[in-house]
Amino acid sequence: MTGRPTELTRRGALRAGALAALAVPLAACGPGYDESPDPLQPLLAAAQADAAAARALAKGADADAAGQFADARAAHAAALKSEVDRLNRPKPTPSPAPPAPAALGDLKERLAAARKQAEDLVGGLPRYRAGLVAAVAAGCAALQRTAPALGPGEDAPKVGTAPAGAVPAEAVDPLQVALAAEHAAVWVYGLVSAFLPGDFGDAEKSGAAEHALRRDYLQTTLSAAGATPVAPEAAYVPKNPVTDAKSASQVVATAEADCASAWLAVIDHTDDAGLRTTALHALVAASRRGTPWRAEAGEKPVAIAMPGQPG
């Protein structure tokens, strides 16, 4: 294996974000009016209600978790409102507010429902909306791992076989970016194994195994599309030196965030339902895996509100 060391930083995520920006059609930027109800409105209403409900709990025993929940759901609401308002669609009659929660655990079912609702919408939305909703779904999935009362939530399915049909030409470059991110993640998990105590073993092994599966999937998919899969670098240079368990957790969290960014860009560049589903599962998986690593590294917030999007 040859090549120069590649710096493992947030640059990978920003490159994927730049790809995502290209996915917005010009028509999305102009004025317009659609008389049909906006399919994002229920997601927006749920995010607003969840944020308000969590704020009411932010002074109790679970103040930290409730505050992070409120901030994330408020970020979801702000992003969704901007998109809903852009089309000037008529607003439905507001539904009655759900009962005020007495404890953080009362938000568990609401969070799971919001995640599923967002995941179910991704396949049928225009590209520039699919990425937004996928990020909301991944943010909900990440929140499920911030506190036992909210989760743990369902893990994303493992990657399946490569698609039998042709890969859309516009998806090839984003898939190459995702493959580069998966190569880096596999390397990172190998690096940190020497710095993590024994009780991290299961998380390290499962993370490495899943990234290897997604790497293999991408290599097969790209080869079938007639492309030459990008090769791994000889080495990757973390932004900060890895010297102990905390710095090891930090570099793993960064690798997971880079994978999330790359897979979100895939969603932004394809209308293929199967490919979108695979990318959504990978985005959700990276977001969920990254959350406990961020907690171990002392990162705040523990869960990224809109995984995959530029910060």
- 6-297, superfamily in CATH? Ferritin, core subunit, four-helix bundle (1.20.1260.10)
Give the span between the Cα atoms of 116 and 121, in whole angstroms. 9
Q: What pLDDT shows up at residue 160?
A: 66
pLDDT recorded at residue 19:
53
Q: For the chain, how long is the longest CA-to-CA vector? A: 61
Which whole number is the average pLDDT over 180-191? 96
For residue 161, pLDDT over 90 is answered with no
Residue 24 clears pLDDT 50, i.e. is over it: no
Which residues does 245 contact at the CB level (< 8 Å), separation at least 6?
A: 195, 196, 197, 200, 296
- Mean per-residue pLDDT of the chain: 87
b/e per residue, 93-128, with b = 16+ CB within 10 A? Answer: eeeeeeeebeebeebbebbbebbebbbebbbebebb
| pLDDT, position 33 | 59
For residue 26, pLDDT over 70 is answered with no
pLDDT tens for residues 68-88? 999 999 999 999 999 999 887
Q: Locate 192 and state its tokens.
A: 């940190």
pLDDT of residue 34: 62
> If you average pLDDT over residues 81-105, what whole number do you get?
81
Per-residue model confidence (pLDDT) at position 30 = 47
pLDDT at residue number 163? 66
Residues 139-150 pLDDT 10s: 999 999 999 999
pLDDT tens by residue, 164-174: 667 888 999 99
**pLDDT greater than 50 at residue 175:** yes
Residue 7 has a pLDDT of 66
Nearest to 103, CA basis, from 74, 78, 137, 69: 69
Which among 153, 39, 150, 162 is positioned nearest to 91, based on CA atoms?
Answer: 39
Per DSSP, the chain holds a count of helices (H) and strands (E) of: 9, 2
Cβ contact 114:50 at 8 Å: yes
